[in-house]
Structure 1
Amino acid sequence: MENNKFVEFREKIQDNIGKVIVGKEEKIDKIIVAFICSGHVLLEDIPGLGKTKLSKALAKTLNCTFKRVQFTPDLLPSDLTGIYYYNQKLAEFELKKGPLMSNIVLADEINRATPRTQSALLECMEERQVTIEGNTLKLDNPFFVIATQNPIEQFGTFPLPEAQMDRFFMRLSMGYPEYEEERAILNKYMNDDPLEKLESVISMDEIRYVQQHYSNITVSEEIKTYILDIISETRKSYDIELGASPRASLNLMRGAQALAAINGRDYVIPEDIKSIAVSIIAHRLTTRSSIGSSRSDSQEKVLEDILNKIETPLEKL
């Protein structure tokens, strides 16, 4: 396996998106990890912090087809998947593809749609297929969903159930820019929008390579034990009502492999686990102080306490 291909993949994406997004390299790294692992990302943040801009920049960088869907209470499942309609000229039914027939889909304000429409995403995100009037169609590859929701405004929303949250590989928050970063944003966007001039820098062959070979990264038995200790503690902790599932442990291992690869290593170290554990596990937990709500701060705090409690394996030189 050629580790330099993973490093180049990361550097190309970081440099290109950096023309549009300022100062979010760590978040972009995590999105790259989720994309390599064929996972999906939930961006939970207030409006105006660049979630849509980041999604469009990623699609352009990867040379992928992109669709944005504004989720509203009247959005129907067929508005996502598509429908068969009768073409009178041809005297036959034709498929009108929905936005899910794209490589990258931005589900904007996903918690504003009804549970029926939210659940239409489940099959697509997990099985990579849609069923339209009894016909099952495979989705394009790659297929990557970026969903957003505002954690503050809850009026008129439908909180995502645990099954839906578990489908997301990661939950991230963009956060406010630093003072000088925001100055750089003002200067960058003063005369025009750099997104309009952004060009693709990644080929489909490069995408296939990283998605097919990241699993070759070595995970030692000590690292596996470390992962299991973290997951096991979420099921024992008094502060947690519902702990992490085996899917969480698998995703944590795969995410650590992808992170090690884009950092030029062919093996996982404990720091890989620590740096992505909160993003991958926290949203899957139901804490006693957040039952019936979506208080991500409580979930993250409990998991950070667990990470500080669990002994980190020592690297053997």
Structure 2
Amino acid sequence: MDSPDQTATEFLLLGFSGKSEQEEVVFGMFLGMCMVTISGNLLIILAISCDPHLHTPMYYFLANLSSVDICFSSVTVPKALVNHVLGSKSASHPECMAQMYFLFIFGNMDGFLLSVMTYDRYVAICHPLHYTMMMRLRLCVLLVAIPWVITNLHVLLHILLMVRLTFCSHNAVHHFFCDPYLVLKLSCSDTFINDVAAFTEGPLIFLTPFICIVASYAYIYTKVLKMPSAHGIRKALSTHRSHLTVVYLFYGAILGVYMQPSSSYSLQDTVASIIFTVVTPMVNPFIYSMRNRDIKGALRKKPVIKD
């Protein structure tokens, strides 16, 4: 038996339960969701890339969101599937750090892209006559590139703080991936600096896009309510239901998990983690395509073969 002061070189991802029947069900569910996530988001990307009518700022941001969703889901699910196939629950220290690094990056990018897409809708409704001039290609590229820089710097800070810690022999993580907060609790080093960064700089990066989304929609609804016709109001609101659904799923799940004391982490938090790491990337293509005539039209188009 390991001594308490022995340094751990790997973590045990306990998943959901130790019962083989339940693990088989979870494996099948995760495999199916992973395939749907990749295929659905790839279809969105291909539809936007191949249809010139969709080469607009809104669909440029949507294509970026689909790309990030594929990566976001691929950070956690494949590792869980491989561990199940191999009959192993272990993840080495470098593997765990790398998983947390990319989990942070793609998770934060999801939030920033949702914020950017909301800003795009704000400009389209509140400043329709200046939309083309305001949402130029250079600005669209910057609105995607700047969040990538911010998230990488943000994640690098937290991972460097995490790497300096020592983890003792108690290395069991009650999750199917290396959750940063659960891993931090396993350290036998002083985590004061990590905690300060997590509760100061962390929420700042996370909540900034959320506040921008709320502010943008406040302006949008103020503008919509001033419209003279009920038809115009319904048409304007209908274009935002899909985006609001995604925002609600993503931020609702994250706020339910990470905006509370880590000591109260429970099964409900694990379910919420599944929602924002697995379910949301899977349903995004359906939410956006089912209520979007342009996407549905692009997906139905047949390639034209020239002689």
Interval containing the TM-score (normalised by the shorter chain)? under 0.3
Larger Rg belongs to = 2
Structure with the greater relative contact order (CA < 8 A, sep ≥ 6): 1 or 2?
Answer: 2
